[in-house]
């Protein structure tokens, strides 16, 4: 059976119960063999769940086979920071960040906040602080007072972490959901260098992208860009331009087409890359070279 472009993986359950992925057609073959050159970078993923399920090694192998050369695994709370620091030591293709995700913020956030800075004294330092920000989507629905209280804690945790990132001169990964303007004004107020700021999973339109561009900030794009109804997200990506583009999976969330709705994994970045190369009308080689150069420069990946 002929495989359509982007039809990459077939899955099987092996007898040990570990899900293995065999790529019927490699991303490099699909796109003309560029993978052996620059490769692509998953600039934002969460590898913790794969480690918990005992499938980290096959997941990383599948990622390599799909053309990924580097992965940035992004911290969300103190439960995953140590795990990620260990992964970055063990796997040369993995780098990590630490930060308190807005959905992990509670009344006790300062205790965990006080542990962040020490990661920068380690041999294997984080490549950024994050993800941090504001998230209205997951606030309590039926308790306005509780929602207000949690949102104000998110603001406080975000402000504190922005100051820390500024002091450390570290790049910052911003998570903004239903709170774009507030995130922008917190960053403006922090005095942080906007060229070190990325709004990950950019899901807004060109108007919001222009606000980032005017300040020197970046947006990075998940599989959302492949969704049929995401025309304004595609316009935002085009406005930013290929030279500033970064792509990510945000795995295990947000699988791109044609895997939408299924658990995501880093190898599926190949679908987003294939889609975006076509969107920008460039060859796979150019696409890989530009996005890899940008991600490496932003995160300071050696």
Structure tokens at 27: 């991303």
CB of 254 to Zn ion, least distance (A): 9
Query: Count of residues binding Zn ion (CB under 5 A)?
Result: 3
What does DSSP assign to residue 200?
S
CB of 225 to Zn ion, least distance (A): 15
The smaller minimum CB distance to Zn ion, of residues 38 and 254, is found at 254
CB of 15 to Zn ion, least distance (A): 33
On the 0-12 / 13-18 / 19+ scale of CB atoms within 10 A, 144 is exposed
Structure tokens at 119: 């990661």
The closest alpha carbon to 101, from 83, 86, 113, belongs to 113
The smaller minimum CB distance to Zn ion, of residues 80 and 131, is found at 131
Output the furthest CA–CA distance in the chain (Å, rounded). Answer: 57
Tell me the window of 12-20, 175-183, 211-219, 280-288 that interacts with Zn ion (CB under 5 A).
175-183
The answer to whether residue 265 forms part of the interface with Zn ion (CB under 5 A) is no
The answer to whether residue 175 forms part of the interface with Zn ion (CB under 5 A) is yes
The answer to whether residue 80 forms part of the interface with Zn ion (CB under 5 A) is no
Tell me the window of 58-66, 122-130, 152-160, 169-177 that interacts with Zn ion (CB under 5 A).
169-177
Inter-residue contact 27 to 285 (CB < 8 Å): no
The smaller minimum CB distance to Zn ion, of residues 41 and 242, is found at 41
CB of 228 to Zn ion, least distance (A): 22
Binding to Zn ion, residues 124-163 (CB under 5 A): 131
**Strand 218-221 with 197-199, pairing:** parallel
The smaller minimum CB distance to Zn ion, of residues 42 and 131, is found at 131
**Strand 218-221 with 9-13, pairing:** unpaired
**Alpha-carbon Rg of the chain, whole angstroms?**
19
The DSSP H or E segment spanning 157 is: helix 144-168
CB of 96 to Zn ion, least distance (A): 13
Distance (Å, rounded) from C-alpha 229 to C-alpha 221? 15
Half-sphere exposure (Cβ direction) of 120: Cα atoms closer than 13 Å: 15
Q: Which residue's CB comes closest to Zn ion? A: 175
The smaller minimum CB distance to Zn ion, of residues 34 and 298, is found at 298
Tell me the window of 113-121, 123-131, 187-195, 270-278 that interacts with Zn ion (CB under 5 A).
123-131
CB of 135 to Zn ion, least distance (A): 8
Phi, psi of 6 (to 5 degrees): 90, -10
Phi, psi of 210 (to 5 degrees): -60, -35
The answer to whether residue 42 forms part of the interface with Zn ion (CB under 5 A) is no
CB of 198 to Zn ion, least distance (A): 11
- The H-assigned helical ranges of 91-205 are 109-113, 144-168, 180-190
The answer to whether residue 250 forms part of the interface with Zn ion (CB under 5 A) is yes
Give me the residues that bind Zn ion (CB under 5 A), please. Answer: 131, 175, 250
């Amino acid at each position: 059976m002929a495989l359509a472009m982007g039809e990459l993986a077939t899955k099987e359950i092996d007898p040990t119960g570990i899900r293995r992925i065999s790529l019927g057609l490699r991303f490099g073959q699909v796109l003309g063999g560029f993978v052996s050159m620059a490769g692509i970078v998953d600039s934002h993923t969460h590898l913790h769940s794969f480690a918990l399920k005992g499938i980290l090694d096959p997941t990383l192998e599948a990622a390599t086979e799909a053309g990924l050369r580097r992965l940035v695994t992004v911290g969300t709370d103190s439960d995953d920071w140590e795990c990620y620091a260990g992964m970055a030591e063990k796997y040369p293709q993995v780098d990590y960040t630490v930060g308190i995700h807005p959905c992990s913020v509670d009344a006790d956030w300062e205790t965990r906040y006080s542990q962040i800075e020490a990661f920068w004294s380690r041999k294997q330092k984080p490549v950024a602080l994050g993800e941090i920000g504001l998230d209205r989507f997951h606030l309590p629905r039926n308790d306005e007072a509780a929602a207000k209280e949690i949102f104000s804690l998110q603001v406080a945790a975000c402000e504190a972490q922005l100051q820390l990132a500024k002091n450390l001169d570290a790049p910052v990964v911003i998570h903004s959901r239903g709170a774009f303007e507030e995130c922008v004004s917190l960053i403006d107020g922090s005095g942080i260098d906007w060229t070190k700021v990325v709004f990950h999973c950019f899901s807004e339109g060109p108007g919001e992208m222009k606000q980032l561009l005017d300040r020197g900030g970046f947006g990075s794009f998940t599989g959302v860009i492949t969704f049929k109804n995401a025309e304004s997200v595609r316009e935002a990506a085009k406005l930013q331009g290929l030279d500033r583009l970064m792509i990510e999976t945000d795995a295990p969330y947000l699988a791109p087409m044609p895997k939408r709705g299924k658990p995501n994994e880093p190898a599926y970045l190949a679908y987003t890359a294939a889609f975006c190369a076509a969107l920008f009308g460039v060859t796979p080689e150019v696409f890989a070279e530009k996005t890899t150069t940008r991600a490496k420069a932003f995160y300071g990946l050696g």
